[in-house]
């Protein structure tokens, strides 16, 4: 019997989620992986489906920037929607062939999964004639937008659990003007445990699609440390440039967590700073943990399947001074202003960590 591998990813930047999905879609088409279900959340983001009308985003660019909300076009069906904290996003990567090659059935099955989850919480949720998604009376509890290529699926559903529904006021959700949005929290008048809701989704997904679910843990974990000196007239941030063999891009201090030695993220952060820079300072947890696809071209050997990494983020306050580089990994370093450093970063997770440190510096 075909199984579904399930991975709880936690927070994933929207751009990273597209890269991850694309990699697993190709791997699924080539039978390098079984069917997948990724459960995660996104930072604040507004996404447009293929048929979306831009006027359904009612917020101004200035307001979106002030609120830290990104905007992305996507390849899914549907109109405009919002993703953010407190929401469970599900991305199934399924091969519907040979027995489920029916797009409408697939969407109805996704709706059925969420309807059953709602029942677990004592909520009567339904389909609404003429509209996709799951509804409680005239309010949408979960949005669905999918893309299918050679019968392999991507994108999926977004279930509002503890979502701040005020953010939906920035858009006309799904382009529907006369209906609202709701969440489990609003309906139950209490906060709902995200992990519990994910477990219910996994259970009912396995039931509806008649495939056993096998939960996976991530094999790769790392840290990033943003090193800064705020005693200068203009605060300075340290960037390291990877060697050409390792990508030739700029980044903060990064490194793998040595789990076989039971190393904690904080211990890994301190060790990596010492090994890569020789600097010492005050380390602070940024409380930012995110997951992303490991770029296969940057790995020592080509893995048999796409690899996912979970990264823990820290800041270290120190005095600007010469850096002792680890020559196997880095070929250059630079102390830069925030704007100069930020422009050199290429990965979303690095950029978000730098934004968090800038806020930290501005409030000290």
| Domain final position from 171, 197, 216 | 216
State whether 19 and 165 are in the same domain: yes
User: What is the C-alpha to C-alpha distance for residues 335 and 236, in angstroms, rounded to an integer?
Assistant: 6
| Nearest Cα to Cα of residue 316 among 187, 230, 213, 217 | 230
**Tell me: the pLDDT tens digits for 200-231?**
999 999 999 999 999 999 989 999 999 999 99
State whether 78 and 140 are in the same domain: yes
State whether 225 and 208 are in the same domain: no
Structure tokens at 14: 């929207």
State whether 171 and 207 are in the same domain: yes
**Tell me: the pLDDT tens digits for 305-338?**
999 999 999 999 999 999 999 888 999 999 999 9
State whether 286 and 181 are in the same domain: no
User: What is the C-alpha to C-alpha distance for residues 265 and 288, in angstroms, rounded to an integer?
Assistant: 12
Confidence of residue 127 (pLDDT cuts 50, 70, 90): very high
| Domain final position from 194, 216, 238 | 216
Provide φ and ψ at 37, rounded to 5°. -135, 115
Q: Is the pLDDT of residue 364 over 80?
A: no
Domain that holds residue 10: 4-216
What is the residue-averaged pLDDT of the chain? 95
State whether 186 and 68 are in the same domain: yes
| Domain final position from 152, 187, 216 | 216
CATH code for the domain in which residue 63 is found: 3.30.930.10
State whether 142 and 249 are in the same domain: no
State whether 93 and 126 are in the same domain: yes
Q: Is the pLDDT of residue 176 over 70?
A: yes
Q: How many domains does the chain have?
A: 2
Q: What is the model's pLDDT at position 178?
A: 86
Contacts of 168 (CB under 8 A, 6+ apart): 82, 181
Least-confidence region, from 39-43, 93-97, 191-195, 245-249: 245-249
Q: What is the model's pLDDT at position 228?
A: 97
| Residues catalogued as catalytic | 174
User: What is the C-alpha to C-alpha distance for residues 156 and 2, in angstroms, rounded to an integer?
Assistant: 20
State whether 227 and 189 are in the same domain: no
Query: Mean of the pLDDT values across residues 6-17?
Result: 98
Provide φ and ψ at 236, rounded to 5°. -110, 140
State whether 178 and 247 are in the same domain: no
The fraction of the chain above a pLDDT of 70, given in percent, is 100
Query: Mean of the pLDDT values across residues 108-116?
Result: 98
Query: Mean of the pLDDT values across residues 69-93?
Result: 94
State whether 74 and 208 are in the same domain: yes
CATH code for the domain in which residue 229 is found: 3.90.79.10
**Tell me: the pLDDT tens digits for 253-276?**
999 999 888 999 999 999 999 999
Query: Mean of the pLDDT values across residues 331-357?
Result: 97
User: What is the C-alpha to C-alpha distance for residues 334 and 229, in angstroms, rounded to an integer?
Assistant: 13
Predicted TM-score (pTM) of the model is 0.95
State whether 121 and 192 are in the same domain: yes
């Amino acid at each position: 019997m075909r199984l579904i591998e399930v991975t709880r990813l936690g927070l994933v930047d929207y751009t990273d989620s597209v890269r991850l999905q694309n990699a697993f879609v190709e791997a699924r088409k080539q039978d390098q992986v079984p069917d997948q279900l990724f459960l995660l959340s996104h930072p604040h983001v507004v996404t447009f489906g293929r048929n979306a009308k831009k006027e359904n985003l009612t917020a101004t660019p200035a307001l979106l920037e002030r609120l830290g909300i990104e905007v992305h076009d996507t390849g899914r069906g549907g109109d405009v929607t919002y993703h953010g904290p407190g929401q469970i996003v599900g991305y199934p990567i399924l091969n519907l062939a040979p027995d489920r090659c029916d797009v409408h059935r697939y969407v109805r099955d996704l709706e059925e999964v969420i309807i059953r989850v709602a029942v677990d919480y004592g909520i009567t949720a339904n389909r609404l004639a003429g509209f996709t998604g799951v509804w409680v009376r005239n309010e949408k509890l979960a949005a669905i937008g999918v893309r299918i290529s050679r019968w392999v699926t991507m994108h999926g559903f977004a279930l509002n659990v503890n979502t701040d529904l005020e953010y939906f006021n920035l858009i006309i959700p799904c382009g529907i003007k006369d209906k609202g949005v709701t969440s489990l929290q609003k309906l139950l008048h209490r906060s709902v445990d995200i992990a519990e809701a994910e477990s219910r989704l996994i259970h009912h997904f396995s039931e509806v699609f008649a495939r056993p679910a096998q939960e996976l843990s991530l094999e790769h974990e790392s840290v990033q440390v943003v090193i800064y000196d705020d005693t200068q007239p203009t605060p300075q941030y340290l960037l390291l440039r990877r060697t050409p063999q390792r990508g030739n891009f700029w980044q903060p201090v990064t490194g793998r967590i040595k789990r076989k030695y039971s190393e904690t993220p904080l211990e890994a952060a301190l060790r990596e700073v010492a090994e890569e820079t020789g600097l010492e300072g005050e380390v602070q947890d940024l409380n930012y943990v995110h997951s992303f696809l490991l770029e296969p071209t940057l790995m020592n050997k080509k893995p048999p399947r796409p690899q996912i990494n979970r990264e823990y983020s820290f800041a270290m306050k120190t005095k600007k001074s010469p850096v002792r580089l680890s020559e196997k990994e880095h070929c250059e370093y630079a102390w830069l202003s925030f704007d100069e450093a930020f422009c050199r970063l290429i990965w979303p997770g690095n950029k978000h960590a730098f934004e968090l440190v800038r806020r930290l510096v501005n409030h000290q």
